[in-house]
Amino acid sequence: MSSKIQDVEALVNQKYRHGFVTDIESDSLPPGLDEDVVAAISRKKHEPQFLLDWRLKAFRHWQTMKEPVWAHVHYKPIDYQDIVYYSAPRAPANAPKSLDEVDPKLLATYAKLGIPLHERARLAGVAVDAVFDSVSVATTFKDKLGKAGVIFCSFSDAVRDHPELIERHLGSVVPAGDNFFAALNSAVFSDGSFVYVPPGVRCPMELSTYFRINAAKTGQFERTLIIAAEGASVSYLEGCTAPMRDENQLHAAVVELVALDDARIKYSTVQNWYPGDENGLGGIFNFVTKRGECRGRNSKISWTQVETGSAITWKYPSCVLKGENSVGEFYSVAVANNYQQADTGTKMIHIGRNTRSTIVAKGISAGHAENVYRGLVKILPSAEGARNFTQCDSLLMGPTCAAHTFPYMEVKNPTATVEHEASTSKIGEDQLFYCLQRGISAEDAVNMIVSGFCKVVFKELPMEFAVEAQNLLSVSLEGAVG
């Protein structure tokens, strides 16, 4: 049945569709990193002193750190002096004030990507903050959100307009020196998104950020900070693409979520960075630190990710469950084909009483890819009555890929309940033949089987993005019906 395996491979090996480059003038710093570069970034963004100090502290700390080697990934050493740390599309005069002022070429790029930035955004009811290389280009729906009291803007705007919120919360979940890549990000981050939802407010629309790396040799270091005040709720989605380039590009983002009493944050990611070609040349190194803190009682943070891109993915969206009765969730589909490497999972740190967490991780491996689930469930002595449920499933396509599961558990409270289920299966020849015998083509059959495998995760995504996620796996929406 080797021809069928090839069908499967052909299907997952579809050409990367976002690999174009936009020819646009950009304002970049030369490659390299030292304190002057850090200061220059801060200066370009007219930042207050506290932020410059914070960056410099992070940078000095970073210099004392070593790149981590524990992840189950392999790559040539990164030359941090050969990276451009700041690249901005050159605008006629400073930043655009409205969509009309945005460079039409940029808008065309987004249109090509299928991002609902303009009219489509209105139809979809999604507010988009688009980050192009290093700077946030436009934030839609600012007004409507403003009426609800929701602040949704680029990180730079937030630094200018709400410095007190930034100063209070920046680094409160992911400290500047948390890990090698977080420290690097803290030193050089150039933009990102900021969300503040005031007490009792339910954010009236889905918020969304679209990241794109365009310039060559550019690293993208964005920073996202989302704060849901008491009783607030918000759903946020990020999507990512990059052009095809032979050299690897670094993406080291930091995302911090803060949920106060009774607050809810739902954070969804559809990550489709360029994965490199079928021989493993090029592609994005996606080394990302994402962490949410359920600081208040009854708060809830839910991560959903669909990771299909990047040469290497190294990320563990985590929840620190401090507040009593707080809930952390992690739903993940990670696809790795060709020579992609994914080492992803989550950490659930139970601190408060009766905290609960759910982990559902689905890994799909094809080609020569390595797909790792790595997760930590940590129950501290204070977490009386804590519960965790973990389910990890791996689907293998073909004989040359691999799946690994590294679940770590540290349980320091005897009243806690921790459950773990794991399975590894090959995309069944029997399943495939069953579908073929019913007249269904191999391509449709694989789509169906993969979609079924991922269903529990996809149903966690906001509707319009579930479609995108399904498409990414070349699965039709109908597959999820029922």
Partner 1 sequence: MAGKDILKGVDLEVKAGEVHAIMGPNGSGKSTLAQVLAGRTDYEVTEGSVLFEGRDLLALAAEERARAGLFLGFQYPVEIPGVNNVYLLKAALNAKRKAAGLPEVDAYDFLALIKQKMKVMQMSESFLTRGVNEGFSGGEKKRNEVLQMLVLEPKLAILDETDSGLDIDALKVVSMGVNSLRDPTRAVVLVTHYQRLLDYIVPDFVHVLSGGRILKSGDRSLALELEKRGYDWVLEDQTP
Token pair belonging to 471 = 């498409």
Complex with partner 1: residue 408 or 434, whichever CB lies closer: 434
Query: Which residues have a Cβ under 8 Å from the Cβ of 272 and sit 6 or more positions away?
Result: 18, 239, 240, 241, 308, 309, 472
Contact 227, 197 (CB under 8 A): yes
Complex with partner 1: residue 146 or 428, whichever CB lies closer: 428
Complex with partner 1: residue 108 or 477, whichever CB lies closer: 477
Complex with partner 1: residue 150 or 435, whichever CB lies closer: 435
Contact 368, 338 (CB under 8 A): yes
The minimum distance between CB 430 and partner 1, in angstroms, equals 4
The minimum distance between CB 362 and partner 1, in angstroms, equals 10
Q: Give the integer Cα–Cα distance in Å for 331 and 297.
A: 22
Query: Which residues have a Cβ under 8 Å from the Cβ of 399 and sit 6 or more positions away?
Result: 5
Determine the residue type at 63: Q
* Number of Cβ atoms within 10 Å of the Cβ of 314: 23
10 Å CB burial of residue 289 (0-12, 13-18, 19+) is buried
Kindly list the distances between the CA atom of residue 233 and the CA atoms of 261, 408, 433, 466, in Å, as whole numbers in the listed order.
Answer: 11, 31, 46, 20
The minimum distance between CB 269 and partner 1, in angstroms, equals 21
The helix/strand/coil state of 264 is: strand
Phi, psi of 162 (to 5 degrees): -135, 55
Q: Give the integer Cα–Cα distance in Å for 252 and 462.
A: 25
The minimum distance between CB 306 and partner 1, in angstroms, equals 15
Complex with partner 1: residue 99 or 456, whichever CB lies closer: 456
The minimum distance between CB 469 and partner 1, in angstroms, equals 14
Complex with partner 1: residue 13 or 476, whichever CB lies closer: 476
The minimum distance between CB 403 and partner 1, in angstroms, equals 17
The helix/strand/coil state of 443 is: helix
The minimum distance between CB 1 and partner 1, in angstroms, equals 5
The minimum distance between CB 448 and partner 1, in angstroms, equals 5
DSSP code of residue 76:
P
The minimum distance between CB 331 and partner 1, in angstroms, equals 14
Query: Which residues have a Cβ under 8 Å from the Cβ of 211 and sit 6 or more positions away?
Result: 130, 131, 220, 222, 238, 239, 240, 241, 251, 253
Token pair belonging to 362 = 């689905």
Complex with partner 1: residue 30 or 439, whichever CB lies closer: 439
Contact 219, 84 (CB under 8 A): yes
Kindly list the distances between the CA atom of residue 478 and the CA atoms of 203, 218, 272, 448, 470, in Å, as whole numbers in the listed order.
Answer: 29, 39, 22, 9, 10
Complex with partner 1: residue 86 or 458, whichever CB lies closer: 458
Complex with partner 1: residue 16 or 453, whichever CB lies closer: 453
Contact 209, 131 (CB under 8 A): yes
Q: What is the DSSP string of 202-253?
A: BPSSEEEEEEE--STTB-B-EEEEEEE-TT-EEEEEEEEE----SSEEEE--
Complex with partner 1: residue 203 or 454, whichever CB lies closer: 454
The minimum distance between CB 370 and partner 1, in angstroms, equals 24
The minimum distance between CB 2 and partner 1, in angstroms, equals 9
Contact 89, 83 (CB under 8 A): no
Complex with partner 1: residue 7 or 464, whichever CB lies closer: 7
Residues that bind partner 1 (CB under 8 A): 1, 3-4, 428-431, 433-442, 444, 448-449, 451-456, 478-479, 481-482
Stated length of the chain: 482
The minimum distance between CB 335 and partner 1, in angstroms, equals 16
Complex with partner 1: residue 86 or 453, whichever CB lies closer: 453
